[in-house]
Structures are given as C-alpha cells and as structure tokens.
C-alpha cells in the first residue's frame, strides 16, 4: 500500500525503510524486523533510541539497537538447548508488511505485520500486528491473536535500546522489589536504590511494572510506560560489548535496554488476543 504524506519509503542494501516526519517528531522504521530505529521528538530534538554504528543493516543479522521485537520466545527460552533456535524468536529477522498508515491530529499511525508467524519451535495459528504511533510520544502496541482451535503459550518483548548520553550518569527510577539475575544463575536479588548501572547488567524484574524513568545527569530524560507486560528487563553488556561483533567496545556507554516483556509464559485461548504496549515519553 502507499503510505500517507508524512511517511517516505526508501531502500538501502536490500532493506526498506519508512521515515516519518510530522508536526511532532521524526522516526525511522525498518521493514526488516518490523524494527524501529529512531524517535526524535520535535519538543527537544533529542534522539531517544540507540543503534550501534556497527549494526548489520543488510538483513544478515538482527539489527543491534532500536526496538527489536522478540517473539514468540524471550532470549533462549524456547525449550530446546541453547542455540538450537534463534535467540529472541524469528520476527526480528524477517521482512514485515506495511498494512496501514494514517495521519491523525495526534500523529502518524503505522500498522505492520510479519510475513509469517509459524516456524520451527512455534507451530500455532495466530495473527501478529504492531501498531506504531509517532506523536509527542512513540507508542508501540504488539498484538498476538490466537486464530487456531487450541490454546498456545508464548512470550514476547519490545527490547528497546534507549540512548543515554553517558551510562555512568544514568539512573532508572520506578523499579523496586526483586529481580532474577541472569549473570548469577538467575539468583534472586534486591533492586538497588538508587538504580545505577555500574557493570554488566542482565536482569529480569518479574513484575508488571508500568512506569520507569531514565534520568541522565540527574534530570528526567525518557519515561518508559508499559502495559500487558509481566516483566521489565534491564540489560547493558558493559565491557562485554567488546565481544559482540556488531557493537564497538565502548558502545555500552551510550545505551541502556529497558525491555517491556512477557517472560513468564502467556497462554492464549482460541479467539483470545494479547497486546504488549510500550510508550516512550520524552521528559
């Protein structure tokens, strides 16, 4: 379909990109992965997302940065041995379709859908759509609908890489309680207060946390509002970035993943649907 006036379509290295430019913000979306790469609100012209300068933007690998869509499993939680199936599922490495676009008084809405939702490790009938609204805030809603005759279980995440000027001057507010530490055999730990990032961090906060805020240099920068989640994941590879081929060794200084997630297994009955939402709210 032809998109609306605020959206420009371009191609590069075999990938198709949608660039949104409206009264409120600019944004960039790759149809490969249904992957949002940029959100710059016009209120302050500051980029809210981070994309690695070494990201593969040619369809060979998932894109490092922006908002990878994890579905129908999170990380390697696919029930087989690690590496047997792609980490974070198979939506972030396929080409999505543009279903609809619309300009409204409050922004531009783009609806995307993956080309396929059934693959090794997940053989169920369902529809997946993602509605992206680019306005004063960026709102992303990922809906999974069971169109089959048997229930199924799935997980998903909006694995957002937020841009921060410097990780050592960054603090997260709004997260309390315990988290599961992937770096310590999933041991349960107490969330630090203040919540700063001082080393490699890979945590699943298993609670339906609705609002978390990223503060940089003591000032609120980006609020992350979640809905339909059972967890919030916080990830920064720190010096481990040096061993990630599509990150540079110091890339960790300018990013922080705060991921609106389902990690505990959501069962959908036939006919039922679930929406995972993340809003990125500039402060």
CB of 99 to ligand BG6, least distance (A): 26
Task: Report whether the peptide linkage leading into residue 72 is cis, meaning its omega lies within 30 degrees of zero.
Answer: yes
Separation CA 177–CA 227 (nearest Å): 18
Catalytic residue among 88, 159, 163, 205: 159
- Residue 70 CB, nearest distance to ligand BG6 (Å)? 7
Of 103 and 200, CB closest to ligand BG6: 200
Q: Is 159 a catalytic residue?
A: yes
State which residue has the least CB distance to ligand BG6: 87
**Collapsed DSSP state (helix, strand, coil) of residue 220:** strand
Strand pairing class (187-190; 195-196): unpaired
Interacting residue ranges for ligand BG6, rule: CB under 6 A: 62, 75, 87-88, 159, 182, 202, 233, 235, 259
Residue number with CB closer to ligand BG6 (24 or 162): 162
> How far apart are CB 154 and ligand BG6 at their closest, in Å?
16
Q: Name every residue whose Cβ is closer than 8 Å to that of residue 225 and which is 6 or more positions away in sequence.
A: 210, 211, 277, 278, 279, 281
Write out the two tokens for 214: 């990223």
Residue 46 or 182: the one with the smaller Cβ distance to ligand BG6 is 182
Choice between 139 and 202, CB closer to ligand BG6: 202
User: What span, in angstroms and rounded, lies between the C-alpha atoms of 12 and 132?
Assistant: 22
Q: What is the DSSP letter of 191?
A: P
Instruction: Work out how close the CB of 62 gets to ligand BG6 at its nearest, in angstroms, rounded to a whole number.
Output: 6
54 in catalytic set:
no
Q: Hey, which residues are catalytic here?
A: 159, 259
């Amino acid at each position: 379909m032809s998109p609306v006036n605020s959206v420009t379509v371009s191609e590069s290295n075999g990938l198709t990109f949608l660039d949104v430019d409206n009264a409120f913000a600019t944004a960039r979306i790759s149809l490969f992965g249904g992957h949002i790469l940029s959100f710059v609100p016009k209120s302050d012209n500051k980029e809210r997302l981070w994309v690695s300068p070494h990201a593969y933007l040619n369809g060979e690998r998932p894109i490092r940065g922006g908002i990878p869509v994890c579905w129908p499993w999170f990380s390697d939680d696919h029930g087989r041995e690690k590496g047997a199936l792609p980490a974070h599922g198979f939506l972030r490495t396929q080409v999505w379709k543009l279903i609809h676009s619309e300009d409204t008084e409050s922004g531009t809405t783009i609806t995307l859908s993956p080309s396929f939702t059934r693959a090794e490790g997940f053989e169920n009938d369902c529809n997946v759509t993602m509605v992206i609204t680019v306005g004063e805030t960026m709102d992303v809603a990922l809906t999974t609908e069971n169109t089959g005759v048997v229930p199924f279980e799935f997980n998903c995440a909006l694995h957002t890489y937020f841009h921060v000027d410097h990780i050592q001057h960054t603090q997260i507010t709004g997260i309390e309680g315990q988290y599961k530490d992937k770096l310590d055999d999933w041991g349960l730990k107490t969330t630090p207060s203040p919540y700063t990032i001082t080393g490699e961090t890979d945590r699943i906060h298993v609670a339906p946390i609705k609002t978390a805020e990223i503060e940089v240099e003591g000032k609120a920068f980006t609020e992350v509002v979640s809905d339909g989640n059972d967890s919030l994941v916080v990830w920064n590879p720190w010096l481990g970035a040096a061993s990630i081929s599509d990150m540079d060794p110091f890339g960790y200084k300018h990013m922080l993943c705060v991921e609106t997630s389902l990690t505990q297994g959501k069962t959908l009955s036939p006919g039922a649907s679930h929406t995972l939402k993340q809003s990125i709210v500039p402060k």
